[in-house]
Amino acid sequence: MASPRLKYLSLGVLVFQTTSLVLTMRYSRTLQNDGPRYLASSAVVVAEVMKIFTCVLLVFKEHNYSVRALNSVLRQEILHKPIETLKLAIPSGIYTLQNNLLYVALSNLDAATYQVTYQLKILTTALFSVSMLGRRLGVYQWLSLLILMAGVALVQWPSESAAAPEKEALSAGSQFVGVAAVLVACCSSGFAGVYFEKILKESKQSVWIRNIQLGMFGFVFGIFGMLAYDGERVKESGMFQGYNTVTWSVVALQALGGLVIAAVIKYADNILKGFATSLSIILSTLISYFWLQDFDPTGVFFLGAVLVIVATFLYGYEGKPSPNPSRA
C-alpha cells in the first residue's frame, strides 16, 4: 500500500501533466509569432528522441550505471530479438499518428472542449479491452460509458452565436476538423494502448526497453511523416523553425509525460485517477476562459462536462462483482 503522501503526490503529478500539456500545446498553436510557426510533425520527432534518451538513462540506472551492462541489455533485448522488436511497429505507428492529431485538434479546439471530448478514449479503450483481451465489464462500467457518450455529445452541442455568418462558418469548420482529429485520436489511443498492454503481458521485458523500441519506430515514422507533409518547409527553414521556450516545453511534456504517468500510476488507484481527470478538466476550463480567452462556456457545456466527470468516477468504481458480468 502506498502512503497517503505518495498518493497525493501522484495526484498532483497526474493533474499537472494532463493540464499543462493541453494548455501549453493550445497556447503554442495560437501564439502569434513574427516568424513561421513551429511544425507539429517536427515536435513529434523531437519528442520521440527525448523519450528514447530518457528511457536509455532509466535502463542505465536500473543496471547500476554500468555502461557494459547497458550495452549488453540493449543488444540482447533489441538487436538479438528482432521479432519482439517488430511487434512494437504497429502501436508505434498509431501513437505517431495520434500525437500528430493532437496538435491538429488543439489548433482547432479550445483546451476545455478538447479535454472533455478526449475522455472518449475511455470508451474506445474499454471496447478494445473487451474484444482484444477478453476483459469483462460490469454494470457500472457499461453505464459509465453511456453517460460518457451523452456528456461528450452535449459538449459538442452547437450553441447560438451572434457572430458574423462568415466567421461562424469558419468557426464551425475548425470545430469539425478539431473534433474529427480528437475522435480518430481516441480510437488510435484505445487500440494502441490495449495492443501495447497485450505485448507487455506476453513478455518479461522491462517497460523502459519496450518504450525504447516504441520510440525507435516512432522516430522513423515521425521522420517519414515530417518529410511527406512538411518536407518543403523543412528544406526552406529547417525542422526547428519557430521553436521557442513554449515549444520546447510542449515537446518535453509530451515526451516525458507518458513516462512520468507510467512511473506514478502504481501509487494511484481508480478513484485518484478520477479525481485527477476531473481536476484537469476544471483547471483547463478555468484557464482557457480566464487566461487564453478562447472559450465561451454555456450551460449545455457544463452539463456535458459534469456527466463526463461522473462517468470517469463511475468507470473506476469497484462495486461488488456481478455474478454474470456483461461481455461483448
Domain layout of the chain by residue ranges? 4-32+39-157+172-316
Q: What is the pLDDT of residues 224-276, one digit of tens each?
A: 999 999 999 999 999 999 999 999 999 999 888 767 766 665 566 556 666 77
Lookup: cell for 226: 515530417
One pLDDT digit (tens) per residue for the chain, 328 residues: 456 777 777 778 878 888 898 899 988 988 877 778 899 999 999 999 999 999 999 999 989 999 999 999 999 988 888 888 898 999 999 999 999 999 999 889 888 888 888 888 888 988 998 998 888 888 888 998 899 899 888 887 766 554 444 444 445 568 889 999 999 999 998 898 888 888 877 777 788 888 899 999 999 999 999 999 999 999 999 999 999 999 999 999 988 876 776 666 556 655 666 677 778 888 888 888 888 777 777 888 889 888 988 888 888 765 544 444 333 3
Lookup: cell for 243: 521553436
User: CB within 8 A of 30, min separation 6: which ones?
Assistant: 107, 292, 294
C-alpha closest to that of 43 among 3, 88, 99, 107: 99
Ordered DSSP codes for 154-221: HHTS-----S-HHHHHHHHHHHHHHHHHHHHHHHHHHHHHHHHHHHHHH----HHHHHHHHHHHHHHH
d(CA 306, CA 110) in angstroms, rounded, equals 18
* Residue in this structure with the C-alpha cell 483546451, named with its chain if needed: 111
pTM for this model (two decimals) = 0.82
Q: What is the pLDDT of residues 284-312, one digit of tens each?
A: 888 888 887 777 778 888 898 889 888 88
